[in-house]
Amino acid sequence: MSIKRYQFDLEPEQLEESLRDLGEKLQRTFQDHRYSRVRLSWKGKPLLPDIPLALFVAGEAASFWWAGPLRAVILNLGIGSVITVEVVNEADTKVEAGRALFMEGEVEQAEAAYRDALRMKPSSAGAHFNLGVLLRVTGKLELAREHLRQAAELDDGPDSEKAQELLEKMQ
């Protein structure tokens, strides 16, 4: 899981611009995680059904010190327990489904899965990269370049790097 950090220089003469920038970044972050869920597991087994991220954060915030869901689980399982907390985004599931469909030759369905993933998480480097590859294979080179550029600009792991390499080959 990647952690996004934002640094803001708040100067009195540029306060409006800084606050607007903060609002835009927070909106993009919210959009990226609208379809995210928290999965709590212990020794590889889920403790609860996946919880929407917003609900999990709200529960933790509302019960700040003593009675949060995570604290209750830890107390019930014992102090020495190790609980894995994963943030799972449904967009990642769509990208994997798209890859499987593409490998099976179901190009239209794979494209629809990648576009669904981008609707859920517009900053998904994996969705942009895979859609770019699919569009390149189907001969839609300009659209492919657009998605590959977006994937490369996201700087989000191996898909971003592969997108940059493929863009260089396409030049």
Rounded to an integer, what is the distance from CA 31 to the centroid of its chain? 9
Helix (H) or strand (E) holding 75, with range, is helix 69-77
Give a yes or no: residue 101 inside a domain: yes
Give the pair of three-digit tokens for residue 73: 């689980």
Give the pair of three-digit tokens for residue 110: 């794979």
Q: Are both 72 and 40 inside the same structural domain? A: yes
Q: Are both 116 and 139 inside the same structural domain? A: yes
Q: How far is residue 168's CA from residue 30's CA, in Å, rounded to a whole number? A: 32
Task: Enumerate residues 6+ apart whose C-beta is below 8 A from 24.
Answer: none
36: number of Cβ within 10 Å: 21
pLDDT digits (tens, 9 = 90+) for 101-143: 999 999 999 999 999 999 998 888 999 999 999 999 999 999 9
Alpha carbon separation from 146 to 72, 149, 166, 168 (Å, rounded): 47, 5, 12, 13
Compute φ and ψ for 89, nearest 5 degrees. Answer: -105, 135
The CATH number of residue 157's host domain is 1.25.40.10
Q: Give the per-residue pLDDT at 171.
A: 78
* Model confidence pTM above 0.85: no
For the chain, residues with pLDDT lower than 50 are 1-4, 79-80
Q: Are both 98 and 146 inside the same structural domain? A: yes
Q: Give the per-residue pLDDT at 157.
A: 79
Give the range of the structural domain holding residue 44, as residue numbers without chain letter: 33-89
DSSP state of 89: E
Q: Are both 78 and 124 inside the same structural domain? A: no
* Cβ atoms of residues 111 and 131 within 8 Å: yes
DSSP state of 105: T
